Amino acid sequence: MRVVSSNVNGIRAAANKGLFQWLGDDLPDVLCLQELKATEDQIDLLTIQSLGYHYYFHPAEKKGYSGVGILSRYRPDRVVVGMGNPVYDSEGRVLRADFGDFSIVCVYIPSGTTGDVRQDFKMKFLADFTHYIHELRKQRPHLLICGDYNICHKPIDINHPKRHTKMSGFLPEEREWFDQFIATGFVDSFREYDQSPEKYSWWSYRAGARAKNLGWRIDYHLITEEAKYRLKGAGILNELQFSDHCPVVVELDF
């Protein structure tokens, strides 16, 4: 099973930049999307259907904001929308699909870059998401969490790390959360195969950051230790430019 995750920064904008053309050529088994910025009636469902995909979306209540989706070539046994918390579910943050005993969670963790209020919201989300995953793992231990985490875990995951220690996305408390979350029994799939520096998944639109590769690795596939045996490969598709992020991919034995 080939699972791709991509923050599209607006699915309609990404479609205009070739998202669906790539989808038809690559045909990943599952595509997890973040930051849809659209409701279902605004998405080109006919094209998605014509490519052979089932589709499931969890848009935000606020128009043109947030939202997650899962496209799958195989019909899931079950799809669960949200975390069961209206504060977060109103923003379209979490969507889960079950395939047999294996579950895929698509998550779009909030950004804290707009100020203290949203940074506090982000930290509260991280705590509540940890609890949600802890409870989910009691019933669904074989779990893959795909998405935009809006956090660089380690200095290797960001350009010039010493310059960013006071910026949301690389704050000590965010990285500490990541450490603790991994320690509960998760594997960073990409780092199982590639320990090299300067491998990023997001670049600012400013100052030619992408051309200079001044990026951040904030998009991850985390897999539970119980399901680690399924891992067959992982990578970053940095040649694809549908948004300010690029897709990340994991290959699983399914």
Start-end of H helices in the chain: 11-16, 19-26, 45-50, 86-89, 116-139, 172-183
What 3-state DSSP class applies to 173? Answer: helix
Query: Checking phi first, is residue 37 left (phi over 0); if not, alpha (psi -120 to 50) or beta?
Result: left
Q: How far is CA 65 from CA 6, 11, 17, 37, 184, in A?
A: 16, 11, 19, 4, 31
Q: Which one is catalytic: 116, 128, 148, 157? A: 148
**244 carries an active-site annotation:** no
Least Cα distance to 147 among 1, 2, 4 occurs for: 4
- DSSP assignments along 18-87, one per residue: THHHHHHHH--SEEEEE---S-GGGS-HHHHHHTT-EEEEE--SSTTS--EEEEESS--SEEEES-S-HH
> Distance between CA 117 and CA 113 in Å, rounded?
10
Active site residues: 148
